């Protein structure tokens, strides 16, 4: 009985672990379209969102996250002006032209296979230098 509980507990821990992006997802990368870039800026402005005091904002390639639902994802990364060693990252998902949500410190955004591009459009959001 104790072994069964330990085994189930171990499985639950493994399910909760975030791993790197699967190779099939990494292979689906395409540069972000101007529409994707504009949509994020629009949503942040409409919700009076601020990103904080960051420099050098970048946007990742867009990847196909869930083929069944045609859900895509991309990441934003920027370096905080006080801590330049490692960038802060936020992962976003979207379907069609609609953002579904974002996740701060998304581990998959740190995958070395993910390509990043300059994102000067994000400077239009209040709070960004």
- Who's near 81: CB < 8 A, 6+ residues apart? 53, 54, 55, 129
Give the pair of three-digit tokens for residue 37: 């870039």
Query: Domain limits of the chain?
Result: 21-124
Token pair 């959001």: residue: 125
State both tokens at 23.
């190779």
Cβ contact 75:58 at 8 Å: no
Print pLDDT tens along the chain (129 aa).
Answer: 333 333 333 333 333 444 565 776 777 899 999 998 988 888 888 876 666 667 889 999 999 989 999 999 999 998 877 766 788 899 999 998 888 999 999 999 999 999 999 998 887 675 554
Residue 72 CA to residue 114 CA, distance in Å, equals: 14
| pTM of the entire predicted model | 0.75
Q: What token pair was written down for 41?
A: 């800026």
The distance in angstroms from the start CA to the end CA of the chain is 58
């Amino acid at each position: 009985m104790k072994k069964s509980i330990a085994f189930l507990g171990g499985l639950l821990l493994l399910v909760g672990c975030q791993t790197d992006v699967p190779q099939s997802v990494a292979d689906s990368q395409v540069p972000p379209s101007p529409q994707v870039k504009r949509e994020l800026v629009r949503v942040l402005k409409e919700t009076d969102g601020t990103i904080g005091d960051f420099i050098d904002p970048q946007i990742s390639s867009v990847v196909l996250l869930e083929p069944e639902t045609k859900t895509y994802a991309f990441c934003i990364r920027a370096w905080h002006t006080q801590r330049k060693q490692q960038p802060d990252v936020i992962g976003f998902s979207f379907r069609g032209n609609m953002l579904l949500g974002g996740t701060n410190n998304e581990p998959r955004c740190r995958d070395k296979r993910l390509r990043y591009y300059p994102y000067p459009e994000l400077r239009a959001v209040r709070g960004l230098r």
